[in-house]
Amino acid sequence: MVQPDLPSFFANYQLDEHFYDEMFTTTATPRPQYAALFKRLLELSPEALDQYQQAADNSFLHQGITFTVYGNEKGTERIFPYDLLPRIITNQEWQTIESGLKQRITALNLFLQDVYGDGRIIQDGIVPPELIYTSQHYRREMRGVQVPNGIYISVVGTDLVRIEDGSFAVLEDNLRVPSGVSYMLANRQVMKRIFPTLFGGYGVRPTDQYGQALLATLKALAPKHATDPVVVVLTPGVYNAAYFEHTFLARQMGVELVEGRDLLVHNNVVYMRTTAGLQRVDVIYRRIDDDFLDPLAFRPDSALGVSGLFNAYRAGNVSLANAIGTGVADDKAMYAYVPKIINYYLGEEAILPNIETYLLEDAAQRSYVLQNLDKLVVKAVGESGGYGMLIGPHSTQAEQKSFREQILANPRNYIAQPTLALSRAPCFIEGKIDSRHVDFRPYILYGDEVRIIPGGLTRVALKQGSLVVNSSQGGGSKDTWVLYE
Amino acid sequence: MLSRVADSLYWLSRYLERAEHTARLTSVYFDLILDQSSQLQQERYQLLLENLNMPIEADAIFEPDATLKLIVQDETNGNSIASCVMQARENARQVRERLSSETWTHINQLYLLMKRPYRQWRGQPQVYMHQLIQQIHLINGISHATMNHDEGWQFMQLGNYIERAMSILRLMSTQYLAINGRSPYREDYLDWIALLKSCTAFEAYCNVYTADLVPTHIAEFLLLNAEFPHSLHFSVNMMRNSLAQIGQITKSHRNQQLNRKVGRLQSSLQFSQIDEITDAGLAQFLQDIEAQCWDIHEAVYKVYISFPVAEELPM
């Protein structure tokens, strides 16, 4: 719907009551936190914005801030599309998000302690045992292993969405190896260079301290023997899609970026091979999935991992962040139980609600879902990155048929959710300002206490009408401003 | 510093130096080929490819297009400029957190420059070679000015100069011996100038010996001059410096043998005389030095990069 009340720059701006708009109220007046930005946009010509956009793109390209797209022969490098206009979150909204995330992460950590410990929550009948034991990310080997400080999930990136009424809800807990934090930091740097005066006067809380916070979190996990712990970042290597981020984080923290082949284990102690001989390693921030960590303990064909690492870990000689087996708690089917998990451990109601979720193992829910495949979103429970997903309203008959067969063959492997009305935010697209669907991923650190950097990655579905924000599926990102006021 | 990182930095510089050398030699030879009667043309193409250690088919008839493509773009040819630049960038990518962002950005630009299609520069290959050389000079200068001169930088220096020493040795043992060996020809001076230019040495040589081109002077300049940065002696001095720095930083207790090897090589160049070398046989001398360079390369690996782990483990 075209808005007659908006200036010509916004001529094609889509605004309607079905979707919450980040910038405008339904009567097309800017929300208070966006008023100054709106005013500034009216002073700028499309040509000026175009120049800014090019300056930003060049900055990413020349810095080589790219990710690798798979599917064609050689992995091609692309920049992660960046949208000029910031997404703004008020202090009040942030307070809710922050306390909601703290509550959720605390509860999920207690859940992991319990699942790999006494299993009270199973005995008390809150979570069905088969859901845990059939999860492809459950690691039997972790039963009874003492993790440092009892903390399993040290680095988390939770996906939030804003729904029709303007409140935030949790879409996914990413408890394994969440990525994207380097884009949050890089976006901010570019933003400060391009809109210095606007940014300077806006009262935006800084995010630059992430590197220090991450290092402090990792050091807090160090084994007792280490007074000045040696921390490393473990990467699968240069061909990984997030390799840029791994180098970036290592540089921000001033620690070594290692690959599996740089490490070796002797008598349950981990060493890295340096030009000055072997050096002991105390904490590993690993960006490798559980399966590939140690070919002796997990997948024997893994060439990325380190033989004997799991035994060194179990002996308490080295710490891993995140712990092994955390994926059992971010399984998409387990997600449906998180409000109950919060209530069970903390005796509180969830501050951030879940999205309604259908478990396809349940016969009644399954038959409802199969009848409504064209209206729902179906997701494979163990997948991420926007793969293995059916978006009902945008799918073909053939796709629905294929998903129906897959669901019937393995119902435990799927969940369904209503098609979400993700909120929309203004974006600069082809010389005009238009609205696009966005989500929000804040980053949470948990070493001795829960720390949340005021900000996060706002991902944008750049295709008009699209609801998929993943970078691998044509999504982009924008800087996110959390305000002091 | 991680051994793998040292390895990547070392090869990053070696490949950059190799790409630069290849570009310069190509530019010099295509210049030379313009200047002369066709009598020696085929021989000079042949010499160029031999100098660059490139595959040559028996009885090949050389022509400019195919030769340029082989040298510059052929990715199946491991020594082509394209292969060297891609290897350099790949090594740089693996140690990005160690390079200054400025250095990385310019390596990336070199890669984009190298990707230019043939039709865009075939009319003026010399101009294009010059651009490539300049971009590599830029990378060297920028890394010099923006990076810590720490262990990693010393590994880059080491790679740079060991590669340079090897290229000079190869030039001498193919081109120098070929020109010196053939019956005198009225345009020989062109080949001697080309040899000097291949090491950016023509002007520097003239400063020392004037424009009088005497083969033994040329050999003396390229092998034994200690002040000229594209000479063998200078390169070996730089190798020795870098190895001394690396030894100090790592406090290595395994590098005595390596130090002896590079020290011996350096002294032998420092105290040599060119007439003694030519009397005893230049070809043999060049072979000996090349073997010593390889030996040093292997010793670096044994000490710093792929040392036997068992020796290092606590008992």
Distance (Å, whole) CA A231 – CA A251: 12
The dihedral built from the CA positions of residue A409, A412, A418 and A423, taken in this order, carries a sign that is negative
Task: Classify residue A75 by its DSSP letter.
Answer: P
Domain boundaries, given as residue ranges, for chain A: 358-418
Secondary element (H or E) of residue B290: helix B282-300
Q: Roughly what angle, to the nearest 10 degrees, separates helices B256-270 and B232-250?
A: 160
Beta strands at A475-482 and A82-89: parallel, antiparallel or unpaired? parallel
Residue written as token pair 């500034």: A40
DSSP for B186-253 reads TTHHHHHHHHHHHTT-HHHHHHHHTT---HHHHHHHHHH-SS-TTSHHHHHHHHHHHHHHHHHHHT-S
Q: Which residues of chain B does A244 touch, with a Cβ-Cβ cutoff of 8 Å?
A: 96
One-letter amino acid at B68 equals L
User: Is A276 near chain B, with CB under 8 Å?
Assistant: yes
Distance (Å, whole) CA A53 – CA A37: 16
* pLDDT given for residue B69 in this prediction: 92
One-letter amino acid at A389 equals M
The per-residue pLDDT for range A79-129, each reduced to its tens digit, is 788 999 999 999 999 999 999 999 999 999 999 999 999 999 999 999 999
Residue A463 structure tokens: 């295709």
pLDDT score of B227 more than 50? yes
Residues in chain A: 485
* pLDDT given for residue A18 in this prediction: 85
Contact A275 B3 (CB under 8 A): yes
Q: Which residues of B243-281 are buried (b: 16+ CB within 10 A; e: fewer)?
A: bebbbeebebebbeebbebbeebbeebeeeebeebeeee
Chain A nearest-CA residue for B95 = A247
Query: Alpha-carbon Rg of chain A, whole angstroms?
Result: 23
* pLDDT given for residue B125 in this prediction: 92
Are the C-beta atoms of A442 and A185 separated by less than 8 Å?
no
| Selected residue of B9, B90, B93 to mutate for chain A interface (largest A Cβ count, 10 A) | B93
Domain boundaries, given as residue ranges, for chain B: 1-147, 148-306
CA–chain centroid gap for A94, Å, is: 17
Residue B197 structure tokens: 């230019």
Contact B93 A248 (CB under 8 A): no
3-state secondary structure A344-384: HHHCCCCCCCECCCEECCCHHHHHHHHHCCCCEEEEECCCC
Are the C-beta atoms of A268 and A304 separated by less than 8 Å?
no
Q: Residues 6 or more apart from A139 whose CB is under 8 A from it?
A: A290, A324, A325, A328
- Cis check: omega of the bond before A322, within 30 degrees of 0: yes
Residue written as token pair 């801030």: A65
Distance (Å, whole) CA A269 – CA A284: 13
pLDDT tens by residue, chain A, 485 residues:
444 567 778 888 888 888 999 999 988 899 999 999 999 988 888 888 899 999 888 888 777 676 666 554 455 667 788 999 999 999 999 999 999 999 999 999 999 999 999 999 999 999 999 889 988 899 999 999 999 999 999 999 999 999 889 999 999 999 999 989 999 999 999 999 989 989 999 999 999 999 999 999 999 999 999 899 999 999 998 888 888 899 999 988 999 999 999 999 999 999 999 999 999 999 999 999 999 999 998 988 888 899 999 999 999 999 999 999 999 999 888 999 999 999 999 999 999 999 999 988 888 999 999 999 988 999 888 666 667 788 888 888 999 999 899 889 888 888 899 988 899 999 998 888 999 999 999 999 999 899 999 999 999 998 888 888 876 677 899 999 999 98
Calculate mean pLDDT across residues B182-200: 84
Q: Which residues of chain B does A273 touch, with a Cβ-Cβ cutoff of 8 Å?
A: 2-4, 307, 309
Are the C-beta atoms of B93 and B71 separated by less than 8 Å?
no
3-state secondary structure A282-294: CEEEECCCHHHHC
Distance (Å, whole) CA B194 – CA B33: 10
Q: Chain B: give the shortest CA distance to residue A293, in Å.
A: 19
The per-residue pLDDT for range B99-132, each reduced to its tens digit, is 988 899 899 899 989 989 999 998 899 999 999 9
User: Is A375 near chain B, with CB under 8 Å?
Assistant: no
Q: Chain A: give the shortest CA distance to residue B293, in Å.
A: 20
List the 247-266 stretch of A: residues with Cβ below 8 A of B: 247-248, 250-251, 256-259, 261-262, 264, 266
Who among B3, B90, B94 is closest to A273 (CB)?
B3
In 3-state terms chain B splits into helix, strand, coil percentages (rounded to 5) of: 75, 0, 25
Distance (Å, whole) CA A51 – CA B164: 44
Contact B93 A243 (CB under 8 A): yes
Distance (Å, whole) CA A159 – CA A171: 5
Residue B142's SS3 state is helix
Query: Alpha-carbon Rg of chain B, whole angstroms?
Result: 20
* pLDDT given for residue B36 in this prediction: 67
Beta strands at A457-461 and A475-482: parallel, antiparallel or unpaired? antiparallel
Strand order of the β-sheet with A283-286 is A256-258, A231-234, A283-286, A319-321
Chain A nearest-CA residue for B247 = A276
ipTM value: 0.83
Residue A236 structure tokens: 């699968």
Residue A432's SS3 state is strand
Distance (Å, whole) CA B126 – CA B28: 8
* pLDDT given for residue A2 in this prediction: 45
Secondary element (H or E) of residue B269: helix B256-270
One-letter amino acid at B252 equals S
Residue B298 structure tokens: 């292997």
The dihedral built from the CA positions of residue A298, A304, A307 and A313, taken in this order, carries a sign that is negative
Task: Classify residue A33 by its DSSP letter.
Answer: G
Are the C-beta atoms of B152 and B5 separated by less than 8 Å?
yes
Are the C-beta atoms of B261 and B301 separated by less than 8 Å?
no
Q: Chain A: give the shortest CA distance to residue B9, in Å.
A: 13
User: Is A238 near chain B, with CB under 8 Å?
Assistant: yes
User: Is A143 near chain B, with CB under 8 Å?
Assistant: no
Nearest residue to A360 (alpha-carbon basis) of A421, A420, A404: A404
Q: Which residues of chain B does A272 touch, with a Cβ-Cβ cutoff of 8 Å?
A: 2
Residue A321 structure tokens: 């962040």
pTM given for the model: 0.86
Chain B nearest-CA residue for A275 = B304
Distance (Å, whole) CA B165 – CA B231: 7
CATH number of A358-418: 3.30.1490.270
Contact B4 A259 (CB under 8 A): yes
Residue B73 structure tokens: 């773009």
Q: Which residues of chain B does A237 touch, with a Cβ-Cβ cutoff of 8 Å?
A: 94
Residue B20 structure tokens: 């630069």
